[in-house]
Amino acid sequence: MTQQSRPYEFAQRIGGGSGLLTGWVGIPDPISAGHLAREDFDAIVLDMQHGQLDLASTIGCIAQVALAGKPSIVRVPVGDFATASQVLDAGAMGIIAPMINSAEDARRLAAFTKYAPLGERSWGPGIALNMHGVSPASYLSGANAATLVFPMIETIGALAALDEILSVDGIDGVFLGPYDLSIALSGGTLDPTHADVEKAIDSVAERCRSHGKRAVAMAGSGARARHFIAKGYDLIAVGPDSAQLREGARINIEAARRA
């Protein structure tokens, strides 16, 4: 068996308030994902829910990110657990699943993404075996621990069911979505710094610690990511690639035109 890849070891690095940072890719271009992976991120999220990625472009992005020695985590479309299995087979090291509002939703997610005895994931990780340099037997014995599954906490129902969701075997933590949660908690206002969202940020971090699981969140900016790191979150997204692309252009345009 060849040496395991660094992405395959990602689960060993995240936890205990690790404060790791992830890039966020929605542009369906593997080359773009590969460039972002060469920066000092600890992981790259590939967004199939609100980004423009389809299955083919996601698989291409996973490969480019792996070439940079980084793990890919894929946010799948709502309820699309079959795609979650496919991208794990293609070498993704984690899944973010939106609109998980109950323990039953979480159990269905775990069934598609974890092998027995935790779930019912079907065997077929040919690309993942090649990418990570592991034998079939080694992958099977280690995949449940190495591939991380994060339901999103982004609704009032999910927040109310947080302990039940975290108690599900095969769920490795949760991903806090402060933007959707702010709409729900404020009655229709987009404000990820709303006081009720801040309470949820604290609650998710505390409950994850209590259950021995990981707390993950979208910050939206580097400055806001510092806030989540201080709260003890394990993995924080600093913002989508499209926003970073425009911000980089804006900084250089302003520098060029500055008197």
Specify the CATH number for the domain of residue 106. 3.20.20.60
What radius of gyration, in Å, describes the C-alpha atoms of the chain?
18
Could you list the active site residues?
Answer: 50
Residue 5 confidence (pLDDT) = 76
Mean pLDDT by 10 residues, the chain (259 residues): 72 97 97 96 98 97 96 97 97 98 98 97 96 94 97 97 98 97 92 94 98 97 95 96 94 92
How far is the CA of 113 from the CAs of 81, 99, 107, 219, 252, in angstroms? 8, 16, 10, 26, 43
In a domain, 225, yes or no: yes
Residue 3 confidence (pLDDT) = 56
In a domain, 78, yes or no: yes
In a domain, 1, yes or no: no
In a domain, 64, yes or no: yes
Q: Number of structural domains, the chain?
A: 1
Residue 2 confidence (pLDDT) = 45
**What are phi and psi for residue 240, nearest 5 degrees?**
-75, 160
Residue 124 domain boundaries = 7-257
In a domain, 129, yes or no: yes
Neighbours of 40 (CB within 10 A): 6
150 closest CA partner among 137, 168, 125: 168
Residue 185 confidence (pLDDT) = 92
Entry pTM: 0.95
